[in-house]
């Protein structure tokens, strides 16, 4: 029997139904977006008044074409966010997902976030679809180096980080507009979506391709779909559970009901 329709399901009912599906699942995958990290103080892209794209044209600051023509514009734009990421701490949503993994309820996390907070919260199987800040690549000689020195440079100097090998511009290994997602991560995320019994989508508006199509792919392979988000998404109508709420409140409640008695 299909779960109650969204307009008929209270938050409490949604949480109970989510727990039921998670208990019955043999393989569960989480898909997380920017909404999982906003409670840690990291802004998302589109929220009115606070989104990272609120005052800029993303094609002019966050595309690979803009980066290659004027990397300083990108670094000036991203510097405040890097400061926030460096000081941010995992919030209850990150910790709840890590707890689910540790208890065997959750098998992997596919994330659109680049902040590394899932790993810092204790999650081990994390597929970072949009890359991370841990490494950088020179756009001239393609040498890959640790991102730690680049972040230190970025936070303390008003200049573009340069490659220690050839002097070319260093680019953080995050995916900019116009770049393809890393093949291995994209392939792994498709495999997870096709294999899972339940996909738990948390804090994602599901508007950024190709991650936005993963819930649809999971449903095509007979998975149950649980959505926890503040705003509607395009798959609300086919989801088994939709909980409209803050992930930092809802995910810990779901996890709490899944804990095994000591």
Domain ranges of the chain: 1-42+90-130+181-262, 48-87+132-174
Respond yes or no on whether the N-terminal peptide bond of residue 211 is cis (omega within 30° of 0).
Answer: no
Cα distances (angstroms) measured from residue 1 to each of 5, 59, 86, 200, 223: 11, 45, 46, 19, 14
Q: Which residue has the tokens 């892209």?
A: 45
For 48-87+132-174, CATH gives 3.30.1600.10
pLDDT for residue 157: 83
Task: Note the pLDDT tens digit of each residue in 141-160.
Answer: 999 988 888 888 877 888 89
Note if 130 is an active site residue: yes
Task: Note the pLDDT tens digit of each residue in 76-125.
Answer: 888 888 888 889 999 999 999 999 999 999 999 999 999 999 999 999 99
CATH class for domain 1-42+90-130+181-262? alpha beta
Task: State the Cα–Cα distance between residues 192 and 127, nearest whole angstrom.
Answer: 10
Low-confidence ranges of the chain (pLDDT < 50): 1-7, 47-51, 53, 261-262
Identify the active-site residue in 130, 153, 190, 195.
130
């Amino acid at each position: 029997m299909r779960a109650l329709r969204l307009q008929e399901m209270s938050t409490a009912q949604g949480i109970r139904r989510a727990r039921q599906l998670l208990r019955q699942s043999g393989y569960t995958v989480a898909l997380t977006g920017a909404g999982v990290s906003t409670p840690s103080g990291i802004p998302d892209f589109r929220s009115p008044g606070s989104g990272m794209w609120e005052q800029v044209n993303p094609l002019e600051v966050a595309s690979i074409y803009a980066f290659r023509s004027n990397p300083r514009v990108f670094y000036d734009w991203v510097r405040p966010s890097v400061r926030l990421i460096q000081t941010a701490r995992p919030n209850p949503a990150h910790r709840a997902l890590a707890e689910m993994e540790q208890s065997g309820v959750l098998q992997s996390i596919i994330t659109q976030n680049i902040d590394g907070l899932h790993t810092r919260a204790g999650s081990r199987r994390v597929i970072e679809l949009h890359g991370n800040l841990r490494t950088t690549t020179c756009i001239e000689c393609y040498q890959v180096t640790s991102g730690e020195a680049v972040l230190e440079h970025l936070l303390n100097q008003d200049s573009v980080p340069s490659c220690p090998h050839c002097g070319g511009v260093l680019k953080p290994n995050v995916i900019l507009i116009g770049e393809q997602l890393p093949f291995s991560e994209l392939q792994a995320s498709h495999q997870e979506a096709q294999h899972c019994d339940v996909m738990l989508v948390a804090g994602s508006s599901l508007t950024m391709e190709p991650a936005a199509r993963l819930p649809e792919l999971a449903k095509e392979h007979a998975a149950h779909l649980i959505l926890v988000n503040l705003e509607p998404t395009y798959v609300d109508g086919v989801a088994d559970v939709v909980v409209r709420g803050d992930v930092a409140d809802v995910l810990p409640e779901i996890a709490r009901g899944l804990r095994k008695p000591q």
